Amino acid sequence: MNINNNENNEKTNFPNYEKAVNEFLSDIEIQLISSKNTLFTIKRFLAATNSNEPEMIKYLINHNYQPPQNQVILGVFYLKKNKKRKSFEEFKKAAESNNPHGQYLLGYCYSEGIGVLDKEAAVYWKQQAAKQRVPSACYYLACHYHYGHGIKKSELNYYYLLHKAAERGHLRATLELANAYNRGFGTLRDKHKSLYWLSKVANDFVAVNYMYAIFN
């Protein structure tokens, strides 16, 4: 999901800033949130902009009022530094500006008690991000429907949202969609479709290990 050029037309001292922001947001869209993934995303972003963490954080603090993408990135930096309240506040500002990545990450914060623990608010913000086709939001919202966290359980919605996320390249969603076809979760059992979705990620080492866990 590319950033809006009109929102990010301010010149920066960092080379390839706009491209790096797009790559940063793309990582957020398809990766599970973990300290390892967050560290990788930040390191790649700093390398792409030829910057270091202190100077980038300073820039983002001075420019976090626009565009909302800057608030998202600053929030991720704070998350990496375990400054949970500040992270929550940045995601909230971005979410309230209708930024889909901010909406997804705010929903994540509500799920994990980063700032505030509120399962219903988590569902609401993930729904807003899913409407804007953020794959990770679709995946985590599917999990809410599967387990009944903050919303009524629905295997049909679980399947539907997994499909949306898998179509946009979300690894875990692709694997769970294959499992849904294998076991008939929210859809008819279909071994051919199960194998089709597995083939999409068959070359991924992490996927192969996860495959054994859910299919055995």
Enumerate the domain spans of the chain: 154-216
Higher pLDDT, 122 or 9: 122
CB 130 within 8 A of CB 151: no
**What does the alpha-carbon distance between residue 193 and residue 205 come to, in Å, rounded to a whole number?**
21
Q: What is the mean pLDDT of residues 165-175?
A: 93
For residue 28, give every residue at least 6 positions away whose Cβ sits within 8 Å of its Cβ, in sequence order, or none: 41, 72, 76, 101, 104, 105, 136
pTM of the model: 0.86
Over range 175-204, report the average pLDDT: 91
pLDDT in tens, 101-144: 999 999 999 999 999 999 999 999 999 999 999 999 999 999 99
Cα dist from 195 to 2, 82, 138, 172, 173, whole Å? 31, 40, 22, 15, 14
Tokens of 169: 């390249």
- In terms of Cβ atoms closer than 10 Å to its own Cβ (0-12, 13-18, 19+), residue 202 is exposed
Q: Which two tokens stand for residue 70?
A: 């800057």
- Residue 199 pLDDT > 50, yes or no? yes
Beta-carbon contacts of residue 205 (< 8 Å; ≥ 6 apart): none
Least confidently predicted of 27-41, 74-88, 135-149: 27-41
pLDDT of residue 65: 67
* 158 touches 146 (CB < 8 A): yes
Least confident of 8-22, 91-105, 182-196, 198-212: 198-212
Helix axes 68-80, 35-48, angle to 10 degrees: 130
pLDDT of residue 34: 79
Average pLDDT, the chain: 89
